[in-house]
Amino acid sequence: MKKPTMRHERITKGLERMPHRALLFATGVRREDLEKPFIGVATSWNDLIPGHMHMRTLERFIERGIFSAGGVAFFFGIPGVCDGIAMGHEGMRYSLPLRELIADSIESVARAHAFDGLVLLTNCDKITPGMLMALMRLDLPGIVVTAGPMLTGNYKGKKLTLVRDTFEAIGRFKAGEIDEKDLEEIEIRACPGPGSCQGLYTANTMACVTEAMGLSLPGCATAPAVEAEKLRIAHTSGCRAVELVREGMNARKIARREAFRNCIRVDMALGGSTNSVLHIPAIAHEAGIELPLETFDRLSKDTPHIASMQPGGDWCIEDLHRAGGIPAILSELGAKIEDNPTVSGRSILQIAREGEVSNREVIKPLGEAYSKEGGIAILKGNLAPDGAVVKQSAVKPELRKFKGKAVVFDSEEDAMSAVMKGRIRKGSVIVIRYEGPKGGPGMREMLSVTAAIVGMGLADHVALITDGRFSGGTKGPCIGHISPEAMEGGPIAVLRNGDEIEIDMPGRKLNVNLAKKELASRLKGWKAPEPKVKTGYLVRYARSVTSAATGAICR
């Protein structure tokens, strides 16, 4: 086999590269290492995020794998934000925009240092898609290591998770269901150690999506953060990164249209986070593939929901792992999966054939699915001409059609205040606007509001619509990503208190019951408000970001 040309030779070959070699030798590189593949390891380790605090150990095992396979490892850092800690204040404005910074940072370092391949060590919400966007843009051989889910906590014999037992507990405490002692015990026990939050929220959704695309090894998405299996996966991933370089297996050879359709089907079968509808199109865009919203809806209608995960159900990622993980889901989906290569060296259909469901309580057969349709639905109508997104698998069937009077807020904070003060009446449709990609800016998640609604016993009696977005932990009739957003003069901008809003998830409709002439008159008289943020990175982000309907990419 012909030896592939190494990209790093542009900084190591020839007399004129003597200064470059001198600088490499200063880092401890040996002369014989110059002939080996240079593997960049982008790591998002930090002390800030529970899902990332254990990555130092994973870094060691990745490094072992790279060196044992005959490569040279170069580690560099990538910023991370914990969405849970950023939630409910100005910090959340930075979460989605961080995705673009991560992609740009990896591109910059990888091109400047002429890496032959990449290992991407990641875990949480916007960090994983940001890294995948960079890999697609660079089209290098690369492999992703997601650092694994957190184990569940326990209190009085009851399984605890972050969203259900802390965010929702705030409302339960306000409603008098739990006392202060319970509150203190739950908050210290809910997150027992390292890993991404336990349910199928955004971090774990994107880990599952990555594995289903074939860009991480089988088992990587669901193997718990604290188990030795994760260390072995990290080691093997380091080995495979070197082998992928030698095989000339660039990322886009794996991330084909088939891979994107496969990962959407797995997402629908699991009932994953609505944030995947932002991230998957953005990743596809970097791979040169356009993926309109309609693709999600079409595949959802043809993909049964076979695993009822938290927040809509009761199972956590550790349960999914014990039941067979993503290979078991692929196996159950069977003929719906399209063949595609993967970083493991095996095709996705080989992995599917080897997958085995070991717990039918967690993963149902297709014929006994929770629903004939997948987890996400795309709604359109005079309130969302370009589309809106709902996690229908987390909505009770009787609430999938909802009609109510609008209660309008121009920020998340105002809505949260009204909920906590008991000002929201049953039958209301809470409207939170000017929280989209441009208007937020940054398209904040609304988990604090939605969790408080659940905790206060209003989940079955109110709906919420927004041009912002929701955490993967949101459940109930909550519709996000309304496009065009208010800041772009979308119809949500001219809603008034008392307007009747009609939600029809089975019919895929979202409308305000206004005459066309009245709606047109309101839109004609609309003027954009002053931006909420006037300095710094978010101003530049707001100028370049596109609609949520296109993945909130920056042009």
CATH number of residue 517's parent domain? 3.50.30.80
Q: Are residues 334 and 410 in the same domain?
A: no
| Mean pLDDT per 10-residue section of the chain, whose length is 555 residues | 80 97 98 97 97 98 98 98 90 96 98 98 97 98 98 94 85 87 94 96 97 98 98 98 97 98 98 95 98 96 96 94 98 97 98 98 97 96 97 93 97 92 93 97 89 86 94 84 98 98 98 97 96 96 96 95
Q: What are phi and psi of 361, to 5 degrees?
A: -75, -35
Q: Of 204, 380, 406, which Cα lies nearest the Cα of 307?
A: 204
Residues recognised as catalytic: 471
Q: Are residues 131 and 226 in the same domain?
A: yes
Instruction: State how many domains the chain has.
Output: 3
Residue 142 lies in a domain: yes
Q: Distance between CA atoms of 553 and 544, rounded to whole angstroms?
A: 8
Q: Are residues 446 and 420 in the same domain?
A: yes
Residue 318 lies in a domain: yes
Q: Are residues 383 and 344 in the same domain?
A: no
Q: Are residues 82 and 220 in the same domain?
A: yes
Q: Are residues 19 and 49 in the same domain?
A: no
Residue 326 lies in a domain: yes
Q: Are residues 339 and 384 in the same domain?
A: no
Q: With beta carbons less than 8 A apart as the criterion, state whether 228 and 184 touch.
A: no
Domain that holds residue 14: 7-36
Q: What are phi and psi of 411, to 5 degrees?
A: -160, 160
Q: Distance between CA atoms of 320 and 539, rounded to whole angstroms?
A: 41
Q: Are residues 208 and 87 in the same domain?
A: yes
Q: Are residues 31 and 42 in the same domain?
A: no
The DSSP secondary-structure symbol of 302 reads T
Q: Distance between CA atoms of 194 and 148, rounded to whole angstroms?
A: 9
List C-alpha distances in Å: 312 to 370, 393, 455: 11, 6, 14
Q: With beta carbons less than 8 A apart as the criterion, state whether 429 and 462 touch.
A: yes
What pLDDT does residue 2 have? 59
Which distant-in-sequence residues (6+ apart) come within 8 Å of 329 by Cβ?
212, 266, 269, 270, 306, 307, 355, 363
What pLDDT does residue 471 have? 80
CATH number of residue 107's parent domain: 3.40.50.2300
Q: Are residues 85 and 104 in the same domain?
A: yes
